[in-house]
A and B are shown apart, each in its own frame.
Chain A
């Protein structure tokens, strides 16, 4: 059996419901870090990014693979388990890759003024992910939260576009956090 056939959900309805709740929790509480388990995707895709793929992507959601993530093993795995079409950054609903590989960010959809929901979601693979560093304020946060963002300026520029803008999940191994476009970010 080819490796592409392995590593998917064994009980998709239950695993995807648990994974979605974790994704919903981190996006609605920026700075919160949760665990995502249940998929074993090929490298360099992290477990958490693989779980997000299986939970949110399918034949209706064009996916962009950036940098090292655009390799045969990952392409085959996505094609077999999700059937998501693989596309360039401009056409992507979801994009996966390291922060630097995802640049330039201006390529990604930020929604339309009358349909801001038509914006890309970036899944940013991180070497570390901790609730420290940049100060986050806005919806989902009682006062202030912290997250080890890969940089500050790009998220401030994205916030300035609100209600347009992309939304991010950050993944590291089995861990996930998120930053919706509504969050105001400051260096500390």
Chain B
């Protein structure tokens, strides 16, 4: 058996698409990532039957972790029903035969693009992030040899300078997504383009968090109960901000909201970005400002 099956053979013989040697390589990288939280482990990313923007790094980490007993949830910016999420979910149903769910609570493994679910994650769950640019220092220093050196020497002054320039220019830290964090007082890490509203959920989570970057060929990890701090300053402490509204469908005041244009007259509404969270709340009878007429109309 070789690592170079054609696509048809791969589909029929390889659990979760990847051949065993590739999965072993990815699994070893994941274990080293767990052993050194926040450090980016290089791995030999494989071609996947989907474009890079579709989360090939996350898909490879998920493929290496899945067992036939898993219940997989896939979300794209909080939603289970986008093309990207549906495609990835179908891919693993077909290649690994796993059960799937939209319920955060019932899922054993969740692959996500750009959000952390609102419902608290629990022990035993794995959250796999799709990461476009894993290196938090890349926009300060394009050379890999240099950023590696900066991590080695804990030379993180430049990234603080960048955040402080935000404050000087805007009066506040303007970075709203992919807000950098420090892991266990050692490595500065890019949490992927989640809104900074989600940053506090990175820390001390009972779930295992794994990060996969396909094009950049990096895997990193946050074991459960890892201490994660968003970078900030004494005079400008980190704030996990969100739109100052309640969800118009479920009334939640504490969830991350998307602004949705509802008509061409400038109508708009704010709804939970986490579609499962919003649906569960509505089913439990929680109604937002714009939910009642809809429900009455459909009854």
CA distance A115 to B36 in the complex (A): 11
B23 cross-chain contacts in A, Cβ below 8 A: 16-17, 20
Using known A-B contacts A27-B34, A182-B37, determine if residue A114 contacts B68 with beta carbons closer than 8 Å.
no
Q: Give the distance to chain B from A180, nearest Cβ to Cβ, in Å.
A: 4
B36 cross-chain contacts in A, Cβ below 8 A: 116-117, 162-163, 180-182
- A62 CB within 8 Å of chain B: no
Using known A-B contacts A12-B20, A17-B68, A116-B39, determine if residue A121 contacts B223 with beta carbons closer than 8 Å.
no
Do the beta carbons of B35 and A182 come within 8 Å of each other? yes
Do the beta carbons of B42 and A117 come within 8 Å of each other? yes
Pick the residue among B20, B33, B223 that contacts A140 (CB under 8 A): B223
Seen from chain B, the residues whose Cβ lies within 8 Å of a Cβ on chain A are: 14-16, 20-21, 23-25, 27-37, 39, 41-42, 64-69, 124, 148-149, 151-152, 184, 186-187, 206, 208, 221-227
- A21 CB within 8 Å of chain B: yes
Pick the residue among A24, A58, A113 that contacts B208 (CB under 8 A): A24
- Please tell me the number of chain A residues within 8 Å of chain B, measured between CB atoms: 38
Within 8 A of B (CB), among A18-39: 18, 20-21, 23-25, 27-29
- A188 CB within 8 Å of chain B: no
Do the beta carbons of B41 and A117 come within 8 Å of each other? yes
CA distance A20 to B26 in the complex (A): 11
Pick the residue among B27, B223, B227 that contacts A55 (CB under 8 A): B27
B24 cross-chain contacts in A, Cβ below 8 A: 16, 55-58
Do the beta carbons of A27 and B224 come within 8 Å of each other? no
Do the beta carbons of B27 and A56 come within 8 Å of each other? yes
- A141 CB within 8 Å of chain B: yes
CA distance A61 to B16 in the complex (A): 23
New A-B contacts (16) at CB < 8 Å, excluding given A17-B15, A116-B36: A12-B20, A13-B20, A16-B23, A21-B67, A23-B27, A24-B31, A24-B208, A28-B208, A29-B223, A114-B152, A117-B39, A139-B184, A139-B223, A139-B226, A140-B225, A167-B31
Q: Give the distance to chain B from A143, nearest Cβ to Cβ, in Å.
A: 8
B39 cross-chain contacts in A, Cβ below 8 A: 116-117, 163
Do the beta carbons of B151 and A114 come within 8 Å of each other? yes
CA distance A58 to B148 in the complex (A): 28
Q: Give the distance to chain A from B127, nearest Cβ to Cβ, in Å.
A: 12
CA distance A151 to B27 in the complex (A): 28
Do the beta carbons of A18 and B35 come within 8 Å of each other? no
B37 cross-chain contacts in A, Cβ below 8 A: 139, 182
A14 cross-chain contacts in B, Cβ below 8 A: 15, 67-68
A127 cross-chain contacts in B, Cβ below 8 A: none
Query: 8 closest Cβ contacts across the A-B interface?
Result: A13-B15, A180-B35, A140-B223, A117-B32, A28-B223, A139-B226, A139-B223, A113-B152
Do the beta carbons of B14 and A140 come within 8 Å of each other? no
Most chain A beta carbons < 10 A, residue from B31, B148, B152: B31
Do the beta carbons of A58 and B21 come within 8 Å of each other? yes
CA distance A56 to B28 in the complex (A): 7
